[in-house]
Each structure stands twice: as C-alpha cells, then as structure tokens.
Amino acid sequence: MREVGWPEPACVVQTPCLPLAERDDQAPPRLIPASPGLLCPSQAIFTQKNKLLPEPLDSKRWQGFQLEEYVIGRSIGKGCSAAVYEATVPTGRQDPQGAGHHRLLTSRGPAVAPHGETEASAPFPLAIKMMWNISAGSSSEAILNTMSQELVPASRAALSGAYGAVPYRRAKGGPKQLAPHPNIIRVVRAFTSSVPLLPGALIDYPDMLPPRLHPSGLGHGRTLFLVMKNYPCTLRQYLGTAAPSPRLATMMTLQLLEGVDHLVQQGIAHRDLKSDNILVELDADGCPWLVITDFGCCLADASIGLQLPFTSCYVDRGGNGCLMAPEVSTACPGPGAVIDYSKADVWAVGTIAYEIFGLSNPFYSQGPAHLESRSYQEAQLPALPESVPADTRCLVRSLLQRKASKRPAARVAADVLHLKLWGEDILAPKSLKLDQLVGWLLQQSAATLLAGRLTEKSCVETKLKMLFLAHLECEALCQAALLLHSWRAAP
Ligand SMILES: Nc1ncnc2c1ncn2[C@@H]1O[C@H](COP(=O)(O)OP(=O)(O)OP(=O)(O)O)[C@@H](O)[C@H]1O
Ligand SMILES: [Mg+2]
C-alpha cells in the first residue's frame, strides 16, 4: 500500500469551506467557501443531547462524600497506583450497618458486603478507586494537590465536599477541570478518608497500607478516594473474549478518537492510553461503548496547555513508555526544549486500533514483530487484516506516522471514520458537491433525532452520530473528505 501523506498546507482550509464541486483527480482540490452555519444546522441540538446523560449519584446530591456511606463489594481492579472496588450507596432498605454487612473497622470505615452475597443481593453501580498514598503526606490538602491529575475528570459536584470532606480549591495555573464527554470517565465523588482494610488488601497490596493496618506497610493513614460508575470490564478484558466485526471495531476506534478529540479541545493530554485504561459497557444490542479512564498521568496545565517545557531529564514525560508517541519518546531535554502533546494521544489510539482489529499491539508484543516507538520505520508497521476496510487501514497507518505534523488531528481522524461509517453514499461519486453534503447532513440530523426519540434503549450507533453532529467543524470535515478522496485515488 502506498504511504498516504497528510494533505499539504495548501489544501488545509483556513476558513469554513467545502471541498470542491467538480474534482478532477490530477488537479489540486478547489475549495468553495461556505457559511459555517450551513454545515451545522442542528449542532446545538446534538450538543445539548450529548449532555443529557445522567450521572450516578445525581439524585443523591448531598450524599457520598464520606467513605462510611458506602457498602464496598469485591475488588475489581488494581493498577500501579490504586486499588478499585465495586460499591454502592445503600437505599433506606439496605442498611450498611445492618446484619448483612461486615464492618471491618469497629467505628470507622465503609461497610463491606460479605463474600458471595454481592451479585445476588445488591448490585454495585459504583466503583471506588482508593489511591495508594506513599508520598503525599496525610493532610487532605497535600493529598488533593499531589493527586490532582486524578481529579481532572471530576464533576463540579464531585469536588463540592459536602458534610465534612474537604472542599477542593484548584490552585491558579493548576490542573484543568475537564468538561463531560460520553467517552470519558466521570468522577462523581472525590474525598479523602482514612485508609480502611478492604477485602484482599493484606494479600494484594500489604506494602501500600499504613503501619496501623500492616506492620511493614509504607502507606500514609489517609488517602484519596474517587467514585465512578462501575463498568463491566476494560477494553483489554473485552477483547480477550470478543472478536468485534470490522464495522464494530471501526465504531470502537471512533469512540476513542472522539474522546481524544475532546481532550485536545480542552488542552489536555491523557498520556497513558492503553487497553487497561479504557472501560467498556454494552448497549442493549451488545454493542460496546468505550470510556477513557485513569487520568493519573495526564497533562492538564492551564498555563502551558499541551506544550510541556522539557528543560531537564527530571521533567516527567508521563505514561507508559511503550505507547509513547515518537515525538515524546525521542524528545531531548535542554534549554528551550518543548514536547508538544497535541498529537500524542491520537498516536496511541493508532496502536490500540491493532488490538481492536484483532491483532496484538505491535508496540507491546514480544519477538521479531515488536516495534519501538523511538525507532520504528512506518514501513515496518504490520498490515491490518484484509477484512478491515481499506479506508480504515489507511487511517490507522496515518495515525502512526512518525512526524506529528503529518498525523491527522483527532477531530479529522474521527470525521474520516464518521464519513466512512455513515457517509458512503456521498463519498461514492468522484466529486463532492456542497449542496449534497449539506443535504446529507440535514438528513442525518433528522434521522438521528428520530432514532433517538423512537428507541428507549441507548444505541451506540445513534450516540456516535449525535457526537458527530454535535462536533461538526467545517475545516475538519473538509480535511477528512480530502483524505478519503486522496486514499481512494491512490494507486
Ligand atoms: N470505573 C471502573 N469500573 C470498573 N473497573 C474499573 C473502574 N476503574 C478502574 N477499574 C479497574 O481497575 C483497574 C485499575 O484502575 P486504574 O487504571 O484507574 O488504576 P491505576 O493504579 O491508576 O492504573 P495504572 O497502573 O494504569 O496507573 C483498571 O484497569 C480496571 O480494571
Ligand atoms: Mg490504569
């Protein structure tokens, strides 16, 4: 396959416009200006619709700010910096102090559901992430400051600290607060509390406990707790049992691109994207919905944005080394050096796409096929299966271009897949006419609104179309259309 380059700057549209009406394959595309409003007839409606998703604990505004209010179930995950448990805030009928639950610490701490009773008697709609606190000290302020990146996806309500928990005030120039997005985790409560002895703690993470709970523990007595919705599995776990069709896999990749686009728009880089840090839930048809989680390594600095001054080797590049974009892994520290993270997450999505399309991630795998982000050549990238549509294969390849300036931005990459999934009709002719595109967008808007109203169950396809219509940008859509045309025209 010919390596496909990103259109030269001459093709990049500066003002809202559409690719031309009559295109001859030899000549550079002609661009016809269009009014921005023309392309986004229903954008406001879909932006609003995407905000309407309720959050867990929404109906319990003043609850959930203390660990004692929760019933904790099984351990559901463990990373390098935290343990995660299923949890619930009991209703009046379920009394966490009652006979059905063990209180492990006599007067303080959450109730813990007895082993074996969890699924049958109490569903656990929440997940609590208990950070391990080795270095932050034990004051709430120090904890919240040291672990502040974890709070980036926290809602305003999560941080309001009602009833005794410490209200968190962001320092000027500190981490940004991320606006909600359907493909990004929402932390619904965050608070500090004394570290309890939770199920499996003495076996799974004894060293992280405070000496009060384990004699050789190195942890402080207090730490940060984050409450989120409980998702059934991670992307890695999902792919361990399911083999999504190429169309479904394309929709999954698209969801990651939508999430990353939102981060970039907000001036935030996740820096630790990997299949363990992506959670999955299934819609009524068994179609997966992906959510990016674990912001512990993110770059979310209001003053520097996505440009990290890299003045010394002590500056943390963030995240896991294997899935670090080449411009990050090869950056050399020095006076005036800067790492630009604006295309780093989208590169990681390119690598994860291999896993989603059924192969092993080339930047993880062992053996001769293993690639290193520092040194790989684009020609060494393994081919995706022939069953994957050619446009999608070209897109994944373009995301993994070494030069960040050649990589499409997340918004453009997402629009490529939206056009591929829903816009085959308008892409089929050699030329793309303005009125056709506008007509198609209007028709998509009407159909999506109708689909959203007609069906009660949440449908991944409808949700994705709503995201597309809510984030229409003339320039990005034009670039996506140009990319697709250029790949299709390539020999
Ligand atoms: N909301 C959730 N619902 C279900 N499982 C979750 C949830 N959050 C986390 N997990 C599980 O817990 C694991 C660890 O969580 P997380 O990645 O946030 O911790 P971490 O210590 O910061 O990880 P890392 O090692 O990547 O730094 C996840 O890989 C996942 O299996
Ligand atoms: Mg993690």
| Domains with residue ranges and CATH for the chain | 11-54+411-489 (no CATH), 70-230 (no CATH), 235-408 (1.10.510.10)
The rounded Å distance from CA 356 to ligand 2 centre is 18
Closest to 300 measured CA to CA, from 428, 424, 176: 176
The pLDDT of residue 152: 96
CB 191 within 8 Å of CB 87: no
The pLDDT of residue 340: 98
How does residue 194 score in pLDDT terms, banded at 50, 70 and 90?
A: very high
The rounded Å distance from CA 10 to ligand 2 centre is 41
Average pLDDT over residues 193-222: 95
Ligand 1 atom closest to Cα of 320? Answer: 26
The rounded Å distance from CA 276 to ligand 2 centre is 6
How does residue 171 score in pLDDT terms, banded at 50, 70 and 90?
A: low
Average pLDDT over residues 353-363: 96
The whole-chain average pLDDT of the chain stands at 83
**Ligand lying closest to the C-alpha of residue 129:** 1
What residues line ligand 1, using a CB cutoff of 6 Å? 76-82, 84, 127, 129, 228-231, 234, 272, 276-277, 279, 293-294, 296
Q: What are phi and psi of 205, to 5 degrees?
A: -150, 55
Average pLDDT over residues 290-305: 95
Atom 24, ligand 1: which residue's CA is nearest? Answer: 79
Atom 20, ligand 1: which residue's CA is nearest? Answer: 79
What would you measure as the largest C-alpha separation in the chain, in angstroms?
Answer: 78
Tell me the per-residue pLDDT of 423-465, one tens digit each, with 9 for 90 and over: 887 877 777 777 888 888 888 888 888 777 666 556 899 999 9
**Burial zone of 45 (CB within 10 Å; 0-12 exposed, 13-18 middle, 19+ buried):** middle
Tell me the per-residue pLDDT of 383-430, one tens digit each, with 9 for 90 and over: 999 999 999 999 999 999 999 999 999 999 999 999 999 988 787 777
The rounded Å distance from CA 79 to ligand 1 centre is 6
The rounded Å distance from CA 448 to ligand 1 centre is 33
Closest to 151 measured CA to CA, from 121, 171, 123: 171
Ligand 1 atom closest to Cα of 150? Answer: 22
Instruction: Give the whole-angstrom CA distance, residue 246 versus residue 172.
Output: 46
Atom 28, ligand 1: which residue's CA is nearest? Answer: 77
The rounded Å distance from CA 75 to ligand 2 centre is 14
How does residue 15 score in pLDDT terms, banded at 50, 70 and 90?
A: very low
Q: Which of 86, 276, 322 to mutate to test the pocket of ligand 1 (most atoms within 8 A of CB)?
A: 276
Instruction: Give the whole-angstrom CA distance, residue 277 versus residue 481.
Output: 31
The pLDDT of residue 50: 58
Ligand 1 atom closest to Cα of 297? Answer: 27
Average pLDDT over residues 211-228: 95
**Ligand lying closest to the C-alpha of residue 297:** 1
Instruction: Give the whole-angstrom CA distance, residue 282 versus residue 438.
Output: 32
Instruction: Give the whole-angstrom CA distance, residue 244 versus residue 154.
Output: 31
Closest to 69 measured CA to CA, from 132, 2, 126: 126
Average pLDDT over residues 173-177: 77
Dihedral class, residue 57 (left if φ above 0, else alpha if ψ from -120 to 50, else beta): left
Cα–Cα separations (whole angstroms), residue 469 to 8, 38, 150, 466: 27, 13, 30, 5
Instruction: Give the whole-angstrom CA distance, residue 224 versus residue 161.
Output: 12
Alpha carbons within 13 A on the beta-carbon side of 433: 5
* DSSP H helices in 186-315: 201-204, 235-241, 246-265
The rounded Å distance from CA 151 to ligand 1 centre is 14
Which of the two residues, 27 and 216, has the higher pLDDT score? 216
CB 68 within 8 Å of CB 109: yes
Q: Which of 261, 272, 294, 391 is catalytic?
A: 272
**Ligand lying closest to the C-alpha of residue 150:** 1
Tell me the per-residue pLDDT of 82-127, one tens digit each, with 9 for 90 and over: 999 999 998 765 444 443 444 443 345 677 776 654 444 448 999 9
Ligand 1 atom closest to Cα of 84? Answer: 12
The rounded Å distance from CA 295 to ligand 2 centre is 8
The pLDDT of residue 162: 53
Instruction: Give the whole-angstrom CA distance, residue 278 versus residue 291.
Output: 6
Catalytic (active site) residue 272: yes
Ligand 1 atom closest to Cα of 229? Answer: 1
Atom 1, ligand 1: which residue's CA is nearest? Answer: 230
pLDDT at 300 over 80: yes
To the nearest 10°, report the CA torsion of 23, 27, 32, 33.
150
Atom 31, ligand 1: which residue's CA is nearest? Answer: 77
- SS3 breakdown of the chain: % helix, strand, coil, rounded to 5? 35, 15, 50
Which of the two residues, 491 and 297, has the higher pLDDT score? 297
Q: Report how far apart the first and last C-alpha atoms of the chain are (Å, whole number).
A: 8
3-state DSSP call for residue 83?
strand
Q: Which of 84, 274, 324 to mutate to test the pocket of ligand 1 (most atoms within 8 A of CB)?
A: 84
Ligand 1 atom closest to Cα of 294? Answer: 18
Closest to 140 measured CA to CA, from 112, 110, 161, 157: 161
CB 174 within 8 Å of CB 180: no
Atom 12, ligand 1: which residue's CA is nearest? Answer: 77
**Ligand lying closest to the C-alpha of residue 276:** 1
Atom 29, ligand 1: which residue's CA is nearest? Answer: 276
pLDDT at 312 over 80: yes
Q: Which of 57, 126, 128, 129 to mutate to test the pocket of ligand 1 (most atoms within 8 A of CB)?
A: 129
pLDDT at 246 over 90: yes
The rounded Å distance from CA 82 to ligand 1 centre is 8
**Burial zone of 460 (CB within 10 Å; 0-12 exposed, 13-18 middle, 19+ buried):** buried
Atom 13, ligand 1: which residue's CA is nearest? Answer: 77
How does residue 160 score in pLDDT terms, banded at 50, 70 and 90?
A: confident
Instruction: Give the whole-angstrom CA distance, residue 234 versus residue 276.
Output: 6
**Ligand lying closest to the C-alpha of residue 280:** 1
Average pLDDT over residues 16-25: 36
Instruction: Give the whole-angstrom CA distance, residue 444 versus residue 440.
Output: 6
Cα–Cα separations (whole angstroms), residue 190 to 54, 60, 167: 18, 14, 9
3-state DSSP call for residue 417?
helix
Ligand 1 atom closest to Cα of 277? Answer: 17
